[in-house]
């Protein structure tokens, strides 16, 4: 039931509209007033709060600050989808830049081998994050080509 609240929105407690005469088909439904709710209906209405609580507990502070103003679990979920899609797109945009850096990598004049190794490893890790991985042979060849002849 919690999952439905996240994807479909808060549950509405309905009752048949007795003010309108129905000739054919099912009666028209209207929202029940809170003072008419049964115990089971009160529990159903609280499911959105339970879903919001579950979502809140799984988020870090940075993401929580972006969704805390959303009034329903459904709106929180939709905002999280937007955030994740933007992050994925950002990562995909970084890949061509990282590949170009890797292809043009050379050891700088005055740079120690330790500094170069740290920069090289960082770049290889940056490439692996969005899914571009080079084999050991390719990495070793690039490393050798990036070092100065001396």
Digit-coded pLDDT (tens) for 91-147: 777 788 888 888 898 989 888 889 998 998 888 888 876 667 778 888 888 888 888
Predicted structure pTM score:
0.51
Tokens describing residue 110: 């005055």
Domain positions in the chain: 2-89, 105-150
Give tens-digit pLDDT for 62-94.
889 999 899 888 999 999 999 888 877 777 777
Give the Cβ contact number of residue 20 at 10 Å. Answer: 9
d(CA 79, CA 25) in angstroms, rounded, equals 38
Q: What is the dihedral of CA 46, 50, 51, 53, to 10 degrees?
A: 140
Instruction: Extract the tokens encoding 93.
Output: 């945009």
Element (H, E) at 8: helix 2-8
């Amino acid at each position: 039931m919690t999952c439905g609240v996240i994807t479909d929105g808060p549950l509405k407690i309905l009752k048949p509209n007795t003010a309108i005469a129905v000739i054919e088909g099912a009666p028209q439904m209207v929202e029940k007033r809170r003072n008419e709710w049964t115990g089971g209906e009160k529990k159903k209405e609280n499911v959105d709060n339970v879903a919001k609580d579950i979502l809140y507990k799984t988020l870090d502070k940075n993401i929580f600050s972006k969704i805390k103003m959303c009034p329903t679990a459904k709106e929180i979920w939709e905002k999280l989808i937007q955030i994740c899609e933007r992050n994925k797109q950002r990562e995909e945009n970084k890949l061509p830049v990282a590949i170009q850096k890797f292809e043009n990598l050379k050891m700088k004049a005055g740079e120690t081998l330790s500094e170069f190794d740290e920069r090289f490893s960082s770049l290889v890790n940056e490439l692996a994050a969005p899914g571009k991985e080079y084999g050991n042979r390719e990495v070793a060849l690039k490393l050798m080509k990036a070092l100065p002849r001396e």
